[in-house]
Amino acid sequence: MCKEEEVKEPASPGARLMQAPGFDLCILAVFGYKTKIDLDLFKEEIGQTLARHPRFCSLLIAKNKMFGTFSWQRTKIDLNKHIIAPKIDPGVENPDDFIDDYISSLSKSQMTHDKPLWEVHVLNVKNSDANSTVVFKIDHSIGDGVSLISLVMACARKKPESQYLPPVANKKAREEKVDAKNGLMKRLFVSVWTLILLLFNTLVDLLLFLATLMFLKDTKTVIKASGNVELCPRRFVRRVISLDDVKLVKNAMNVSINDVVLGVTEAGLTSYLNRRYEKHDENGTKITKKGSDSLPKNIRLRSACIFNLRPCAKLENLAEMMEKEKLLKGMWGNLVGIVVLPLTIALESDPLAHIRRAKSTMDKKKLSLGHKVAFGAMKLMMFLFGSKVAAGVSTRVFRNTTLSFSNVVGPREEINVFGHPLAYIAPSVFGYPQGLVIHYQSYADRLVIVLAADEALYPNPRQLCDDLVRSFETMKEAVKEKGLC
């Protein structure tokens, strides 16, 4: 475990931002295990891996609260203060509800600064998804979702007896065949056109970001948050779909997985809102409208999408860093940009229209530097005015949109984490000034859909989760019916 040191490491701008009032975010990562947790083995594994990571064995010390500056100071770790295993009645009546209620209760409070900003809750009770559940509660100042998933994989092995790190998905390089005769002119034309599109899309994104910051708000729907919703506890629900099925739709339509899940999000929210706006008579019977469309017209509904700006650290480097207690040297922390994604809330006769629209949107965002320019502006703002002002700007963007959306790639194979075989990973976050956060997390041959919802706005978040799954199933069937696969 970490040795106590006097040396302090300045907190990154992202970590400082996560400590500002009104933007104090906390990650809740739920790990379902295939076996019961051997607590002694689990603690030993945590002590040899996670607890040796510099951020997990450091206190966050406030240097100047007015300006929002902090530093990390190494300290000794007492695992008994971080690993919590409540006594659970083996005959608990409804294990699923018990675990969901327990996870929701963790969103009622933030981490205290009298110890490193993380804790682990071990729930040794079987439910419908796993034989045991472990909940990691981690202050967002420690790192972003991509960094933390990379760290988990660096702590993992493919098999209990294996010393090999698990494989992760890599981006495939595109092969471009260029005719030798026309190659130079074609490359020149493509380069100039790409530059024009890059500048145009960047300008549009920056104008949209500024408009959202100053005056452009989403339509006040039944799911649009208002007030200090970041202080409200969240209900966390999840569903699992086949990653192979997602890839089937992806390949059939020649799009990316991000395009598919964004299209699913748009379609699922459309179905959910349509049901919420249905009118009923005095007897509770639905009043059918022409075309069964109950949606208000011209809904503006947008998602604040989180883009990772940092290349993922190699798992071997993270593993070596924990083993030898090396310094991080810039390969860790919160380095994310915010992109505002418009969602079209409208019933479609062709369910694949949602994916086509999502692809068009994502292609424009990929060919844009808007999120990087916005991130640079936030860093400059923090340097000049402090983290409170920067957090206020970020908060306004989130308040003026309806939800947040994220998709994180996980291990390609099943793994053992902290000495036990893992069944699923379901990460989420609370503290956002929005009523809904949607995460998509891949693991082996599964894709986990995770919602963090304010129950005042989403009385039955499981219904929304089911709408997302049904929307995807409809898209899969449409692909098969059209003979695209």
Give tens-digit pLDDT for 347-376.
999 999 999 999 999 999 999 998 888 888
Residue 393: per-residue pLDDT: 86
> pLDDT tier at 154 (50, 70, 90 boundaries)?
confident
CATH number, domain with residue 430 = 3.30.559.30
> pLDDT tier at 321 (50, 70, 90 boundaries)?
very low
Q: At what angle do helices 183-214 and 387-399 cross, to 10 degrees?
A: 90
Q: Tell me whether strands 118-123 and 132-139 are parallel, antiparallel or unpaired.
A: antiparallel
Question: Based on the domain organization, do 105 and 219 belong to the same domain?
Answer: no
Statement: residue 162 has pLDDT above 60: no
Share of the chain above pLDDT 90, in %: 54
Question: Based on the domain organization, do 453 and 304 belong to the same domain?
Answer: yes
Statement: residue 326 has pLDDT above 60: no
Question: Between the CA of residue 107 and those of 104, 110, 213, 235, what are the distances in Å?
Answer: 6, 7, 27, 9
Residue 475: per-residue pLDDT: 97
In a domain, 171, yes or no: no
Dump the DSSP string for 322-369: HHHT---TTSSS--EEEEEEEE-----SSTTHHHHHHHHHHHHHHT--
Decide which of 139, 157, 175 is a domain's last residue.
157
In a domain, 248, yes or no: yes
Q: Where are the alpha helices (DSSP H) in 88-214?
A: 95-105, 145-154, 183-214
Question: Based on the domain organization, do 51 and 195 belong to the same domain?
Answer: no
- Cα–Cα dist 143/11, whole Å: 11
Contact residues for 198 (Cβ-Cβ < 8 A; gap 6+): 367, 368, 369
Domain that holds residue 199: 184-481
Joined tokens for residue 146: 């991509």
φ/ψ bin of 382: left (φ > 0), alpha (ψ from -120 to 50), beta (otherwise):
alpha
- Cα–Cα dist 296/291, whole Å: 13
Q: At what angle do helices 243-253 and 353-366 cross, to 10 degrees?
A: 80
Question: Based on the domain organization, do 458 and 380 belong to the same domain?
Answer: yes
In a domain, 50, yes or no: yes
Question: Based on the domain organization, do 212 and 121 belong to the same domain?
Answer: no
Residue 311: per-residue pLDDT: 59
Of the residues 140, 371, 420, 439, which is catalytic?
140
Question: Based on the domain organization, do 121 and 223 belong to the same domain?
Answer: no
In a domain, 162, yes or no: no
In a domain, 422, yes or no: yes
Strand, coil or helix: 223: coil
Q: What is the pLDDT of residues 469-479, one digit of tens each?
A: 999 999 999 99
Question: Based on the domain organization, do 67 and 205 belong to the same domain?
Answer: no
- Cα–Cα dist 214/35, whole Å: 51
In a domain, 18, yes or no: yes
In a domain, 434, yes or no: yes
Question: Based on the domain organization, do 462 and 394 belong to the same domain?
Answer: yes
Q: What is the pTM of this model?
A: 0.88
φ/ψ bin of 329: left (φ > 0), alpha (ψ from -120 to 50), beta (otherwise):
left
- Cα–Cα dist 247/215, whole Å: 39
Question: Based on the domain organization, do 208 and 132 belong to the same domain?
Answer: no
Q: Which of 478, 440, 434, 427 shows the shortest CA–CA distance to 456?
A: 434
Q: Which of 469, 403, 407 shows the shortest CA–CA distance to 437?
A: 403
Q: Which of 109, 142, 144, 138 shows the shortest CA–CA distance to 231?
A: 109
Domain count for the chain: 2
Q: What is the pLDDT of residues 436-446, one digit of tens each?
A: 999 999 999 99
Lowest mean pLDDT among 252-256, 289-293, 391-395: 289-293
In a domain, 170, yes or no: no
Question: Based on the domain organization, do 105 and 211 belong to the same domain?
Answer: no
Q: What is the pLDDT of residues 71-113, one digit of tens each?
A: 899 999 999 999 999 999 878 889 999 999 999 999 998 888 8
Question: Based on the domain organization, do 321 and 220 belong to the same domain?
Answer: yes
Q: Where are the alpha helices (DSSP H) in 155-304?
A: 183-214, 243-253, 257-276
- Cα–Cα dist 77/164, whole Å: 27
Question: Based on the domain organization, do 120 and 204 belong to the same domain?
Answer: no
Active site residue 82: no
CATH number, domain with residue 58 = 3.30.559.10
